[in-house]
Structure 1
């Protein structure tokens, strides 16, 4: 029997929380709704959900700040909601580590589709890496732990990754020294094509470079290929699981 996924909804609008909870529960999910960041942290301490639906505009600490703090020590999938449909809000949400973004107003079935997609991507693992047989992937003195889903830097310090960052880095490590364009990267990580104004891949690569300690002007690990895309340069090795 499939495990039932739990969705934590953080929105200060009680009607929206109730509407989404009822809709998602009719489609087989468990839900919990809370109104603000304080209640969110308490809920996360009590039981880790499988996905977080997080409103950007919350009383007190806003969704962007909450997402940034969450990403410091967790790869929990996050879908961010906002009443503002400005492109800048979407960019900021992705920069803070959200896995997807949905502007209000929206149809509950669209959120359901996004939730299913994010959960599917989070659980999926490319067959080429055979994660049940491989524990670590090493590159440029860094290590990606496939089981814990985090990075380990050359000094042994753990660096947390969002779900989107983990999937993107894993794709690069599957295809070292191969130029991958934005369309390919979006298809491999999110199962969709890019639109002309989609900057999500660029944002995630920028965040990955920061976590890898790269000089944005002269990156050595994930390099930009003019008019081509991006390439992970250098050798990659794997370490079998125990």
Structure 2
């Protein structure tokens, strides 16, 4: 086990047989009780876990052998969760959820601006955390071919062309005027919900339903933060981007007329 990694009494790194069938979830938190409790809950749901007690140790492991998803605390020794996410985002689009006692709006905003896919404040429900993990993994999962006896994959929406926007749900790619725009899975689903019906105003509740299935609760400012970050990403390739419009008190719409 890497130096600084927390001891996982139920196995730590998954064995090869388990890895072939289980999603790998990395947990990074300096609270041993949180690591143990969440790890046990995830393993009972069929996940494999990797546990790390500080961001510095986790960074090396996450880049050398990326898991399917990571859950970060914010306040940690050596390297906090915000810096860890920023360093990971320099190399990877790894899905990340923040799980932290720091529930200040500025921390949530900063985490989402850096590219977190979700944010859950402590104290938290294990059921809620697992529901969000499953939702994000489903969005990030690439399409696969099926053989006899397999369950059919979840349907993937058609490619979307609206003005200068092109979205390919099967490959999770987005371009604007021919230039790539890198979106998280949550951002992608919010944009898809807007672009599939251009000019139609979607309320925050409708966008939350599109991006957070399974009755997962998300407050209004989380959607607003995703929209703000998306606009910033598009403006990095087109400073005049204005296709995501706000109707105050009603919601958002997409219009590239």
Fold agreement, TM-score > 0.5: yes
* Contact 1:121–1:189 (8 Å) recurs in 2: no
Alpha-carbon distance in structure 2 between the residues aligned to 1:72 and 1:168: 23
Confirm or deny: 8 A CA contact 2:164 2:178 kept in the other structure: no
Is 2:180 the partner of 1:151? no
Query: 2-side partners of 1:122 and 1:178: how far apart?
Result: 26
TM-score (norm 1): 0.78
| 2:231 equivalent in structure 1 | 209
- SS of the equivalent of 1:213 reads helix
Establish whether residue 178 from structure 1 lines up as the match of residue 200 from structure 2: yes
Q: Retained in 2: the 8 A contact 1:140–1:221?
A: no
- After TM superposition, give the deviation of residue 145 of structure 1 in Å: 4.2
Q: CA RMSD in A?
A: 3.1
The higher-RCO structure (CA 8 Å, 6+ apart) is 1
**Residue 153 (structure 1) shift:** 4.4
Q: How far did residue 53 of structure 1 move?
A: 0.5
Distance verdict in 2 for CA 1:38–1:143, change over 3 Å: farther
**Could you tell me which residue of structure 2 aligns to residue 238 of structure 1?**
none
CA offsets, 1:133-185, max 9 Å, x none? x4xx44443443434424334464x3322221111122222222211111111
Following the alignment from structure 1 to structure 2, what is the Cα–Cα distance between the partners of residues 128 and 113? 20
Q: Of Structure 1 and Structure 2, which has the larger fraction of its residues in strand?
A: 1
248, 253, 256: which one aligns with 1:226: 248
Contact 1:74 1:162 in 2 (8 A): no
Q: CA deviation at 1:28?
A: 0.8
SS in 1 for 2:99: strand
Using the size of structure 2 for normalisation, the TM-score is 0.74
Q: Per the alignment, do residues 72 and 28 of structure 1 end up closer, same or farther by CA in structure 2, a change over 3 Å counting?
A: same
Change (3 A) 1:207 1:33: same
- Stretch moving more, 91-100 or 173-182: 91-100
Report how far residue 14 of structure 1 moved: 3.0
2:79 & 2:106 partners in 1: Cα distance?
Answer: 19
SS in 1 for 2:199: coil
In the alignment, is the contact (CA less than 8 A) between 1:102 and 1:111 conserved in 2?
yes
Per the alignment, residue 94 of structure 1 pairs with 112
Q: Secondary structure at the match of 2:201?
A: coil
After TM superposition, give the deviation of residue 223 of structure 1 in Å. 0.9
The number of aligned residues is: 226
Equivalent-residue separation in structure 2 for 1:145 and 1:74 (angstroms): 20
Distance (whole Å) between structure 2 residues aligned to residue 124 and residue 184 of structure 1 = 25
Deviation string 1:53-109 (CA, Å, 9 cap, x unpaired) is: 111112233212222343345332211011223333333322322222222233434
